[in-house]
Amino acid sequence: MLPSLPTAQSLEGKAVPQVIFKTRADEQWCDVSSDDIFKGRTVVVFSLPGAYTPTCSSTHLPRYNELAPSFKASGVDRIVCLAVNDAFVMNEWKRDQEAEDITLLPDGNGEFTAGMGLLVDKSDIGFGRRSWRYSMLVRDGVIEKVFIEPASAGDPLEVSDADTMLKYVNPQAVAPEPVVIFAKPGCPHCARAKALLAAGGLRYEELSLGGQIRSSTLRAVSGRGTWPQVFIGGRLIGGADELEAWLAAPGAGREG
């Protein structure tokens, strides 16, 4: 049976539910209120069925994490990921995802989600009651815009994604291009290239020599055998010298 969901129009303009989130920080329990999260701030929230689940781990959370600098540059103070999971699970998932720019909130009892009218029954797959997938923009505790996934079978991700929300928050924003660096431990040129990327404000994924990444892998994808090799937006930039020249070009590495 498909869930009965509220409409976006029925939620927009209303205050967020007032609840206490049972979180943990520094190995201690810490009560966080709705006002602690939302009062006086512009907050983007995205809610999902559960930590470590496939779509949530591969797409929903990672993309918000990637676009966090763009949201910040567009006036968003905080990005919140919410799920009907406990604090231990959410904290471990945050570490696993390296999502330092995302606040992961455990709605363990589903109180906030129920207040949104988006607590749904997923007992058919052994989940019990969980959050339906949605995202919203909240200004000073009031919901300005909400994107609710359609009441269809499965686990749709069509409108609550990070790119859709960023386009609403700032239609002129340009999402940063993905950056990958093939690096070798102890390589001074690799260290220089990573420092250049960091200085340019570019987040990157590092693929290091070892395990399944070998010199033959580097040659296969780049056509070159020297370390490092940097790719930006699917384009081969090259080594540290070429990266420095690329970053010095007008407009390189800048977000809109």
Q: What is the pLDDT of residue 93?
A: 97
Q: Domain residue spans in the chain? A: 8-169, 179-248
Give the pLDDT confidence of 151-178 residue by residue, as tens digits.
Answer: 988 889 999 999 999 999 999 998 889 9
Q: Within 10 A of 152 (CB to CB), how many other CB atoms are there?
A: 10
CATH topology of domain 8-169: Glutaredoxin (3.40.30)
Biggest CA–CA distance in the chain, Å, is: 59
Mean pLDDT rounded to a whole number for the chain = 94
The reply to whether domains 8-169 and 179-248 share a CATH topology is yes
Residues serving a catalytic function are: 56
Q: Tokens 């009892």 map to which residue?
A: 109
**179-248 homologous superfamily:** Glutaredoxin (3.40.30.10)
Given a cut of 60, is residue 255 above it in pLDDT? no
This prediction's pTM: 0.84
> CA–CA separation, 178 vs 183, rounded Å?
16
- Angle at the Cα of 77 from the Cα atoms of 18 and 85, rounded to 5 degrees: 50
